[in-house]
Amino acid sequence: MSRPVSAMEECYAKLTELGLLIQDILNDCMGLPPGFLKEYNSDRGLDVMVALRYFSSSSREGEEIGLSEHEDGSCVSFVFQDGVGGLEVLKDGQWIAAEPADGSIVVNIGDVLRVLSNNTFRSATHRVVRKAAHRHSFGFFWSIHGDKWVEPLTEFTAKIGDAPQYRGFKYNEYMQRFMKSRTDPQARPEDAFSVSHYAI
């Protein structure tokens, strides 16, 4: 007798389906051969789903940093926000609030696609600002297998006469350094590990 599927398992499955759809769209947008990203990124073993809670701000001004600025280390990430807000995206040197909207999903391109596209597709720099109320969010990180080699594709380098802007790297080695910088943060945000450490 099979057990019933939990709500979390159903949610994970639906987000996986969404990831496949977004991957196909990105494959077309990047001008890659049909099914290229599907074949390159066929292992779903390292996708991660997380629920997050940010405590309310203790600052008299009502806001303080809940999560420092960063880019996501995955291929693509999906974020669901509650009505409190606090997610901000850096654009032209200014922090822009990603205001919550009912039924919406925030979709971020991550560092993997940034490197594969040789900076044509940029991973969004974002942060979370703590507000006067507790904030809850839900994220799904669409990743690749840890043994996968990541480097700029020839479609964005040799075939168009551009030089690679990144050295290649193995994804699990990159993620180990990425996660260590999050659990053992540097005193200065600019010293935190990021994909720019592989820039040429």
| Higher per-residue confidence, 28 vs 128 | 28
Residue 177 lies in a domain: yes
Residue 154 lies in a domain: yes
Q: In a 3-state reduction of DSSP, which class is residue 155?
A: helix
Domain that includes residue 76, residue range: 7-185
Q: How far apart are CA 156 and CA 33, in angstroms?
A: 13
2, pLDDT greater than 70: no
27, pLDDT greater than 90: yes
| Higher per-residue confidence, 153 vs 177 | 153
Confidence of residue 56 (pLDDT cuts 50, 70, 90): confident
CATH number at residue 76: 2.60.120.330
Q: How far apart are CA 132 and CA 60, in angstroms?
A: 9
* Percentage of the residues of the chain whose pLDDT score is greater than 90: 57
* Percentage of the residues of the chain whose pLDDT score is greater than 70: 92
Residue 192 lies in a domain: no
Residue 2 lies in a domain: no
Mean pLDDT, all residues of the chain: 88
Per-residue pLDDT, 32? 95
Domain count, the chain: 1
